[in-house]
């Protein structure tokens, strides 16, 4: 690793969020490590000692709050600063995260200017001041990045759709909400807030009765229709 190169760890179960942050940091002299759950995040943090951790709250296995609790007890990673990035930024979650050692909270979809501001404040220097390129990202480059993220989302969606349909058939509420949580985080990132809103509606639902499952299936079909329309629009560009 070259002198002065910074390293960040992104822990999130949303592949589109991971891709978004990798794309964002790729224009700077910053190495990006990734994990999709808190347990793997702890292992990677202990092994690689990143300068800062970006942490989602709701994840399988070890969630964000549990990871903060474990991190606080481990000497080798205790001092690594953490920025929580989550669509679930209700007051109780924010208070719990801050009490467990989070340095900042950012809501999804991520605002990159806010992200840069928080990182610079925490690290005490402008680490974004020397991009690999000598010019700022142009509008065309920004559009290209967004299209790459949208393409990644569309290519990975059939697997998610199959998982949703199987979860509905088997009445597996936990699995359904895990998939929808990931899609919820992706929706705003690719510029389709309606996907985020519908996913959040189902995620909040109790799923305890047949009526709840009819509602969930109806809402998920709405998501499928929106994604199909996005796919058709994307193909016709």
Per-residue pLDDT at 3 exceeds 70: no
Task: Establish if 154 belongs to a structural domain.
Answer: yes
- Tens of pLDDT, residue by residue over 7-61, are 999 999 888 888 889 888 887 878 999 998 888 999 999 999 999 999 988 877 7
Return the CATH number at 67. 3.40.50.2300
> Of 89, 123, 157, which marks where a domain is finished?
123
Task: Establish if 130 belongs to a structural domain.
Answer: no
Cα(111)–Cα(108) distance, integer angstroms: 8
Percent of the chain with pLDDT over 70: 89
Cα(166)–Cα(131) distance, integer angstroms: 44
Q: Give the three-state DSSP class for 178.
A: helix
Closest CA to 152 of 176, 201, 186: 186
> Does one domain contain both 114 and 13?
yes
- Tens of pLDDT, residue by residue over 99-134, are 888 999 888 778 888 999 999 999 888 888 754 444
> Of 75, 90, 123, which marks where a domain is finished?
123
Total tally of structural domains belonging to the chain: 2
Task: Establish if 37 belongs to a structural domain.
Answer: yes
Of the pLDDT bands very low, low, confident and very high (cuts 50, 70, 90), residue 185 is confident
pLDDT for res 134: 41
* pTM (whole model) above 0.85: no
Task: Establish if 66 belongs to a structural domain.
Answer: yes
Q: Which residues are within 8 A (CB) of 176 and not within 5 positions of it... i.e. 6 or more apart? A: 164, 167, 168, 202, 207, 216, 220
Per-residue pLDDT at 141 exceeds 80: no
> Does one domain contain both 204 and 147?
yes
Q: How do 104-107 and 82-86 pair as beta strands?
A: parallel
> Does one domain contain both 108 and 212?
no
Count of C-beta atoms within a 10 Å radius of residue 142: 11
Mean pLDDT of the 79-88 span? 86
Copy the structure tokens of residue 53.
């951790």
Task: Establish if 89 belongs to a structural domain.
Answer: yes
Copy the structure tokens of residue 140.
């065309």
Of the pLDDT bands very low, low, confident and very high (cuts 50, 70, 90), residue 2 is very low
> Does one domain contain both 119 and 179?
no
> Does one domain contain both 164 and 220?
yes
User: Across all residues in the chain, what is the average pLDDT?
Assistant: 85
> Does one domain contain both 13 and 110?
yes
Task: Establish if 1 belongs to a structural domain.
Answer: no
> Does one domain contain both 171 and 91?
no
Percent of the chain with pLDDT over 90: 40
pLDDT for res 111: 85
> Of 123, 155, 182, which marks where a domain is finished?
123
The residue range of the domain holding 99 is 6-123
Return the CATH number at 175. 1.20.120.160
Mean pLDDT of the 187-192 span? 81
Per-residue pLDDT at 91 exceeds 70: no
Task: Establish if 91 belongs to a structural domain.
Answer: yes
Per-residue pLDDT at 138 exceeds 70: no
> Does one domain contain both 119 and 27?
yes
Q: Give the three-state DSSP class for 125.
A: coil
């Amino acid at each position: 690793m070259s002198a002065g190169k910074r390293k960040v760890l992104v822990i999130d179960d949303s592949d589109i969020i991971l891709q978004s942050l990798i794309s964002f940091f790729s224009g700077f002299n910053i190495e990006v490590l990734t994990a999709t759950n808190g347990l793997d995040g702890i292992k990677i943090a202990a092994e690689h000692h990143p300068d800062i951790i970006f942490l989602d709250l709701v994840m399988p296995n070890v969630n964000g709050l549990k990871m903060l609790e474990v991190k606080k007890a481990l000497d080798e990673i205790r001092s690594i600063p953490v920025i929580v990035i989550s669509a679930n930024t209700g007051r109780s979650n924010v208070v719990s995260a801050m009490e467990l050692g989070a340095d900042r909270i950012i809501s999804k979809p991520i605002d990159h200017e806010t992200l840069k501001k928080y990182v610079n404040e925490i690290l005490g220097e402008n680490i974004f001041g020397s991009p690999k390129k000598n010019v700022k990202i142009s509008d065309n480059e920004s559009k290209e990045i967004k299209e790459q993220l949208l393409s990644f989302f569309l290519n990975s969606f059939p697997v998610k759709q199959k998982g949703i349909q199987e979860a509905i058939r088997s009445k597996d509420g936990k699995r359904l909400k895990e998939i929808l949580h990931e899609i919820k985080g992706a929706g705003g990132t690719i510029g389709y807030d309606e996907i985020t809103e519908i996913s959040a509606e189902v995620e909040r639902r109790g799923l305890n009765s047949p009526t709840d499952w009819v509602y969930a299936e109806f809402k998920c079909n709405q998501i499928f229709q929106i994604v199909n329309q996005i796919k058709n629009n994307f193909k016709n560009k």
